[in-house]
Every structure is written in C-alpha cells, then in structure tokens.
Structure 1
Amino acid sequence: MTLKGRTLFITGASRGIGLAIGKRAAADGANIVIAAKTTDPNPKLPGTIYSAAEEIRAAGGQALPLAVDIRDEEGVLAAVAKAVQEFGGIDVLVNNASAISLTDTEHTPMKRYDLMNGINARGTYLCTQACLPQLQKAAGAGRNAHVLNMSPPLSMKQHWFAPHTAYTMAKYGMSMCTLGHSGEFAKYGIAVNSLWPRTAIATAALQMIPGVDLNLCRKPEILADAAYFILTSDAKTTTGNFFIDDELLAKHGVTDLEQYSVKPGTRKFIPDFFVD
C-alpha cells in the first residue's frame, strides 16, 4: 500500500516534522495540503507555506499551501473546503501543529496557556471535526482513511505534569482525542493513532529553547518514516495506538537509526518527554 494519489491535510507543515511527513508522502505522489500560519520569511524561524510547497513538489507530490490558524474555526472549515475543491477530498489528517512552553504555573501567563491549549488540544479536535465528513467518504470509498496525532502516550504520572502542567495538559489533550476518536470512528473504518519520538527532534521550535544541543537530537525524518508506516497500514486494524518512533521502525525491520542522527556517531540522545 502506498500514498500515491492520496490527499493529506497536515497542520503545521511549513517546517520541521510536518514538512518531513509531507515530503515522505510526496515521494509516493501524494497530494499535500500545507495548513500553517507562516506566510512571510522569518530569519529566526525558517520556512513558509510557500517554501514548503516547493519542497513537496520537488519531492514528487502536489502541494496546496493554505494560510491557516487552527484556532479559527471558520478558517479551518474554509481550508478544508479549498482542499476538497483542489484535490476532490481528504484521505488523511495529520494533526502536527503544536505550541510549547516548558514553564511552571508561576511562569505561565494565561495567554500562553490559552495558546498551547488552543493549538494543541482544541486545534486537534477542531481539525478532526472539520475533516471528518471527508474522512468518512474516503473510508467508505476504500481509501484507507487515517488521522495521525503527533502526541505522546497517556501516562498519568506526576513527574510528567509537575514541571510544566499547562504544556502537559495541552499535549495530553491531543492524545485524549486519539483515545476517544479511535473508538468513536471505528464504525466508519477511520484509523486514529498517535506518534511520538523517544528522543528530542531537531526542529526550529526546539532551537528556541535555551540550552538544547541539537547535536544530541535526531532528525525529523525518523518521525516521517514512522508516520509513513502508520499511514500505509490497514486503517481497520491499526487504530487506537500510541506509537513510539524507534519501536515502530524496529517492527518494520528498521533497526539501524544512524541515518537519523543530527551528528553521526552520536550514541546518547536527549530523551523526549512522556516516554516512561
């Protein structure tokens, strides 16, 4: 099974993990809807929806760059309508857009709390709701409909909450969508899964966090390859899972992960959050 001719609606796909997933699907000849906010170049945060579209086309896919703030219901619904107009439907939704602030309660302004929960939890729910009619049609037509949330396994342990309660709530909100929607959408044949990295991933967002050594991270391509295995699996039998990238790759025979190291030869990586 490949993604040739499939249409993927990917939030936050102007750079990083979302773009990497889009390019991996584009290599099959997929259609990629780039739903992200960045339209103008920023020297501190490289990548726009238009530069991402160029990269996706160069990788072999079709691209539709759309300026979308996933906190805006009307904007999301309009983007879905444009995607359907351009490509005829939506087969896959990747909820990748996310906001992060690793701050404790004392140092988390409510504006930042609202941003994280508005993008991560609410944005994931909204985009899933907006794409659902198209995903139902795709599943009914045998087009292997998937929703993939870039969120961690649920672990109700204090040490994952205490240092940054607001961020953890926001990310777990995405994972709760996986838990609930996988059960809710099973009757339609729509798969809903989560994917999360074992190690920190070198992205532009990570560079904004002081003290992070990107040489101790892996590249976004490890998640792109893991996502590809999920999105090409049978939606009727692969649903409700909280996948970890290296474990999933190993199940598919990929055990040499050297290609994903930012610095070749690295043996000790920065661990990501939420993996016990």
Structure 2
Amino acid sequence: MGTQKVALVVGASRGIGRQIAIDLAKNGYAVVVAANLNPHSFPPDPHSSASTITTVAREIREAGGEATAVPVDVRDLASIEALVARTLQVYGRLDALVYNAGAVWWASVEDTPVKRFRLLQQVNVEGLYGAVQAALPPLKKKSAEGEGGRIVVVSPPIYSRFFRGKTGYAMGKVGMSVLTKGLAMDFERQGLKNMSITSLWPAVAIESAATHKLQQTDPATARDLRKPTIFSDAVLAVLRAPAASVNGMLALDEDFLRSELGGSVTDFSQYALVPGTSPRRIMPKQLPDLTVAEQDDEGTRINSAAPTARKIKAKL
C-alpha cells in the first residue's frame, strides 16, 4: 500500500473538474479521474466535449503527476461501486472524494419534463449519494488510521433565490447540500473528528464547458467569468483545513479563500478570465443561517435501520 494520498474526482473530464484533478495532482495526490468515457484525440480544448478522462489523466502524467482514468456512469450504482473498487485495486487507499458530476437544466416546472427531471436527480443527488456510500468504507479506514477521509461536494448554499426559474435542477442540487449537512451530523455523532464533508459553490461564474458555448456566441460574457483555478484552490484549501472546521460547511469559493481557514486571499484579480476585469458576483452577499434554537427535549431520534425498528416494520 502506497503512502501517497489518493483523490477520486467524479466529473473530471473537463472544465472545473479537470482543473481540480490537475491541481490535486500538482499538490501531491494520486488522482482517479472519473466521468463518462468518450475517446478523442489529444490534446483537446479543455472546455470542449473533446476533453475526456483519458486526456486529463494524460495531461497529469505528462506533467509528472500520477493519475488513472476510470469511466463511470453515476446513474448506475454498480458502475459507481466498480469505480471505488478500481481505485482501491490500483492505489490501495482513498483519502478524498470530490463529486463534481452534474446535469444542468434551467427552466420552469412547466418546461421541465419528468424525463429531464429524473435525469437531474439521478446524476446530481442520487449519483452523489451512491458515490458517498461506496466511498465511506475506505474513507473511514483512513479515519481509523488517524488520517481522516474528506469529501467535497459541488453544491450550493441553501437560499430561496436559487430555486427561481430552475426548480427541478435546484431540488437535486439543494438535496446534495442537505446530504452534506446530514452526513456531517453523522460524523459528529459517530465521533469521527478527522472526517469531513463540505459543499463548495462559485461566488462568481466560472469558465466551464457550459459557459464556453455562451462565449462562442457572445464573447463579451467572458468579462463576467473567472478561471476554474479559483475553485480548485478552494478545494485544496478545504482539504488542508482541520476536518472539524469545515465539516458540514456550505461555502462559496471566494468567501472561503478570503477566510483565515482558506488562506486569507485578498487579490482575486488573478482569477479573472479577462485580465483587468472585475467579474460580477452572482451569489448573495449574506446567506441565511440554517441553525435553529432547539427545545430542551428535541424528542426521540428514530433509527429505521436498527434491528428493533425493522421487526416493527415487518409486523406492520
């Protein structure tokens, strides 16, 4: 078993995911680059459909890093489980999971067909749930060894404006953030102080495969974009921070990097896609606090997975 830390990046074929994989490799991680596999020639435009896990893995290796490309269909649990099994077969360990896979459809409820809605849930929240469950055993193993496993999810803070005009999409993405909050509570209850799950989301729009299409039709949109390196820098900062300090956090890349935990970054001009511009922030300046004042007795917590609960359900 190697001593090099291993990161599994799901949704790493291009754009933000590609940058995360490349920068993790630059910072000493062996990276499993995972996404749907569509073979193309090398080298491609990193934001086009010609960029795949094979080309990203090759970029990493040619730069002196360690990477393995593994195809996955996040709609298929067996495919996700095979991905984690392959990671362990190649590297013998898993230290970090980054879930960047995502399906996008921004439209009203009326204009979001059920077939499209199901795809959004399968790729976003269900894919994440399957990836987390498959990755938890090896991540917990690192925790037992005193190192701790980390999970980073690309999902947003929870606030009302996010639902506007894209409800079907928001239901899945917010569900991903709920998973972050809930699993963080599981870690706390189980005493896993060196494990964490954190959600990250861009404060300013980032150049990606989706924005690349807009740039081709309207080059002026580039002035409102940042380079994907801001997001990979935020991912690295989360992984370096003490687990307890980021567990359950729903963070914005810029705001986290500005914080003491993120490195107290003050110059964000380095991330502007067009030098000299100040891309517009798309997220609220202040986000709601989801905590509430609890009663003295919050009631009995029911565990449906407990043997007694299963017997009761069987009788019913």
User: In structure 1, what is the equivalent of residue 207 of structure 2?
Assistant: 202
Tell me the SS of whatever aligns to 1:107. Answer: coil
User: In structure 2, what is the equivalent of residue 250 of structure 1?
Assistant: 258
Structure 1 pair 142/229, CA: closer, same or farther in 2 (3 Å)? same
Q: TM-score scaled by structure 1? A: 0.91
Structure 1 pair 90/267, CA: closer, same or farther in 2 (3 Å)? same
Q: TM-score scaled by structure 2? A: 0.80
Q: Is the 8 A contact 2:140 2:148 kept in 1?
A: no
Q: What amino acid sits opposite 2:31 in the alignment?
A: I
Q: In structure 2, how many angstroms separate the alpha carbons of the residues matched to 1:64 and 1:99?
A: 24
Q: In structure 2, how many angstroms separate the alpha carbons of the residues matched to 1:181 and 1:12?
A: 21
**The 10-residue stretch of structure 1 (129-138 or 38-47) with the greater mean CA deviation from structure 2:** 38-47
User: In structure 2, what is the equivalent of residue 232 of structure 1?
Assistant: 240
User: In structure 2, what is the equivalent of residue 171 of structure 1?
Assistant: 173
Q: Is the 8 A contact 1:217 1:270 kept in 2?
A: no
How far 1:121 sits from its partner (Å)? 0.6
Q: In structure 2, how many angstroms separate the alpha carbons of the residues matched to 1:184 and 1:261?
A: 38
Q: In structure 2, how many angstroms separate the alpha carbons of the residues matched to 1:60 and 1:174?
A: 34
After TM superposition, list the pairs within 5 Å mapping 1:39-118 onto structure 2. Answer: 39-41=38-40, 44-118=48-122
How far 1:64 sits from its partner (Å)? 1.1
Q: In structure 2, how many angstroms separate the alpha carbons of the residues matched to 1:108 and 1:272?
A: 24
Choose between structure 1 and 2 for higher RCO, CA contacts under 8 A separated by at least 6 residues: 1
Q: In structure 1, how many angstroms separate the alpha carbons of the residues matched to 2:286 and 2:207?
A: 18
Q: Is the 8 A contact 1:200 1:272 kept in 2?
A: no
After TM superposition, list the pairs within 5 Å mapping 1:135-150 onto structure 2. Answer: 135-150=139-154
5+ residue gaps, structure 1, are none
What do the CA deviations read for 1:22-55 (whole angstroms, capped 9, x no partner)?
1111112211111100322398523111101012
Q: What amino acid sits opposite 2:182 in the alignment?
A: G
How far 1:57 sits from its partner (Å)? 1.9
Aligned-residue CA RMSD in angstroms? 2.1
Q: In structure 1, how many angstroms separate the alpha carbons of the residues matched to 2:286 and 2:198?
A: 16
User: In structure 2, what is the equivalent of residue 128 of structure 1?
Assistant: 132
Q: In structure 2, how many angstroms separate the alpha carbons of the residues matched to 1:235 and 1:99?
A: 29
Q: What amino acid sits opposite 1:266 in the alignment?
A: T
Q: Is the 8 A contact 1:120 1:174 kept in 2?
A: yes
Q: In structure 2, how many angstroms separate the alpha carbons of the residues matched to 1:223 and 1:200?
A: 10
| CA radius of gyration, larger in | 2
Q: In structure 2, how many angstroms separate the alpha carbons of the residues matched to 1:180 and 1:101?
A: 26
Q: In structure 2, how many angstroms separate the alpha carbons of the residues matched to 1:66 and 1:273?
A: 37
User: In structure 2, what is the equivalent of residue 271 of structure 1?
Assistant: 282
| 1:32 counterpart = 2:40 | no
5+ residue gaps, structure 2, are 288-316
> Which aligned runs of 4 or more in structure 1 are off by greater than 6 angstroms?
none
| 1:154 counterpart = 2:158 | yes
